[in-house]
Structure 1
Amino acid sequence: MTNQLPFGAWVAGSPRYDEKAAAASVEIHEQGLKALSDLDLPAVITSRPVWSEGRLANEGVVLEGGRLRYLHRKLVLPDQEGWRERTWFQPGQSAPLLADVLGVRVGVLLCTELMFNEMARHLGGDGAELIVVPRATDAPSPCVTAGAMAAIVSGSYVVSSNRAGRAGNNPEFGGPGFAFAPDGGLLAKTSAEESLVVVEIDARLARRQKCRYPCYLTEGERLEAPVG
């Protein structure tokens, strides 16, 4: 997997929409996806900008067997210095859905969407075995804690890659990528010294975790459950 919108400049660092910059971002991501396809990897999950109603949309996609497939359009768009995503992007219109990737049931959350536990919980309830989270965040960030919680409430593996470094007036990105097991246990983190990590997942563990606390609880049981 890659980080969020991994190729070229971070356009949402600017508070003003620029159609030429938007077009350049679309073009460089098309070139980047072609380069990823040329690597002949079994599958790569990433995100790309696409045109949408006079602006862009942030679209999660998978390259599998050389074919590009849509997965999800980002719903939750920050609007603050360095992340003027509401200025540059149109939000998606539907909740994230599952896709079969190399025989694994996969859901995608794009960056800030990780902060919404209910999105991870619904993906887990639908049967997600793996939730992939491309990010572009600064450091320190609550994303590691959010990743652990997403795994706990979904009973799914949760893996995330983050953008790093600074260019021009963009914010300084940083903070680890990570992988959590379906019970919330940390499997791996990236760092400046180790920017690439590899983890193995076992979909059977995710399926078993969904029968355990707190994943088996229904919404009503969660609301009525006593403290302690």
Structure 2
Amino acid sequence: MMEGPVDLLPQGATWDGIAERIQELAPDLLVTNEMPFGHWLAASSTYDPARAAESVQAHEAGLAALGALNLPAVVSSRPVFAGDRLANEAFALQDGRYTALHHKQYFPEEPGFYEATWFRSAMDGFDVVDVGGIRVGVLLCTELMFNERARRYGREGAELIVAPRASGPSRRRWLTAGAMAAIVSGCYVVSSNRAGRTAQGQVFGGVAFAFQPDGEALAQSSDTESIVAVDVDPARSRAQQALYPCYVRE
């Protein structure tokens, strides 16, 4: 999990430093923040096709940069064209193979986060998928706030919920949402976030975090460690799902 700096490009000194640290840690699965490359489109309340195309291109270059890390698996998200708007598509890279996992379904619409203006979903559902031998469910940013989705992932046999984010400076409620997602699902929850202040003054809150299947904190990024590795034991998740409150029926 990681804090991705604002306006990150998939080449240059900043990316090279990030890539070097990731390769030192050598994770089996890297979870990035939501749409990690280029400018944050949803800062604007007006959809701009040229800026949308620019972001799509930046993330296409980002795919090559992520693939060059040579990790067993990466989960991230990127904008893809969806009619007259974009879709925010979570994906996995596994041994160079691209798999679309999920399209973001829930969109805020407020200053700094005019996502309903820019995005729509072109893929239905919240499906559990196998990524690197672990059963994974994806909740993109705002979706982490909806416990029913996390709970359903647990019922469907997920062992890990990944939550790429691009959230603002408020940290407490995101940590609460991550803990509750773990508690109701019995899954590990791992979330990465965008971090820093843009040239226009928008602030992203950083704080990548991981929770254990019982909702206890596992790890969190810091001012000195923006990329953090954690151990995940799928058997522990399966055991937790037989315990309270996971076993309680609707």
Large movers: runs of 4+ above 6 Å: none
Give the secondary structure class of the aligned counterpart of 1:164. strand
Percent sequence identity over matched residues?
Answer: 55
The count of residues paired between Structure 1 and Structure 2 equals: 219
Contact (CA 8 Å) 2:82, 2:121: kept in 1 or not? no
- From 104, 113, 120, give the equivalent of 2:134: 104
What is the rounded CA distance, in whole Å, between the counterparts of 1:15 and 1:192 in structure 2?
Answer: 32
C-alpha change, 1:10 and 1:206, in structure 2 (3 Å) is same
- Which deviations, in whole Å up to 9, do the C-alpha atoms of 1:160-208 show, x marking residues without a partner? 0000112232621014110000000100001222101110010000000
- Which deviations, in whole Å up to 9, do the C-alpha atoms of 1:109-136 show, x marking residues without a partner? 0000000000000001000000000000
- From 15, 18, 21, give the equivalent of 2:51: 21
What is the rounded CA distance, in whole Å, between the counterparts of 1:169 and 1:90 in structure 2?
Answer: 25
The aligned runs of 1:133-212 (5 Å cut-off) are: 133-141=163-171, 142-169=173-200, 171-212=202-243
The alpha carbon displacement at 1:92 in A equals 4.7
The alpha carbon displacement at 1:93 in A equals 4.8
Stretches of structure 1 that go unaligned for 5 or more consecutive residues are: 220-228
- Which deviations, in whole Å up to 9, do the C-alpha atoms of 1:74-122 show, x marking residues without a partner? 0000000000001100135522101111110001000000000000000
Q: Residue 218 of structure 1 aligns to which amino acid in structure 2?
A: R
What is the rounded CA distance, in whole Å, between the counterparts of 1:101 and 1:17 in structure 2?
Answer: 33
Task: Work out whether 1:43 is the aligned partner of 2:73.
Answer: yes
Deviates further, 84-93 or 10-19: 84-93
Residue in structure 2 matched with residue 5 of structure 1 by the alignment? 35
Give the secondary structure class of the aligned counterpart of 1:134. coil
Residue in structure 2 matched with residue 65 of structure 1 by the alignment? 95
Give the secondary structure class of the aligned counterpart of 1:61. strand
TM-score for the superposition, normalised by structure 1 = 0.94
The alignment's C-alpha RMSD in Å is: 1.0
TM-score for the superposition, normalised by structure 2 = 0.86
Q: Residue 240 of structure 2 aligns to which amino acid in structure 1?
A: Q
Contact (CA 8 Å) 2:141, 2:166: kept in 1 or not? yes
Task: Work out whether 1:113 is the aligned partner of 2:143.
Answer: yes
Contact (CA 8 Å) 2:188, 2:232: kept in 1 or not? yes
What is the rounded CA distance, in whole Å, between the counterparts of 2:225 and 2:106 in structure 1?
Answer: 30
Contact (CA 8 Å) 2:185, 2:246: kept in 1 or not? yes
Contact (CA 8 Å) 1:10, 1:170: kept in 2 or not? no
- From 77, 81, 93, give the equivalent of 2:107: 77
Deviates further, 168-177 or 132-141: 168-177
What is the rounded CA distance, in whole Å, between the counterparts of 2:97 and 2:206 in structure 1?
Answer: 31
Q: Residue 155 of structure 1 aligns to which amino acid in structure 2?
A: G
Give the secondary structure class of the aligned counterpart of 1:17. coil
Task: Work out whether 1:124 is the aligned partner of 2:154.
Answer: yes
What is the rounded CA distance, in whole Å, between the counterparts of 2:125 and 2:87 in structure 1?
Answer: 14
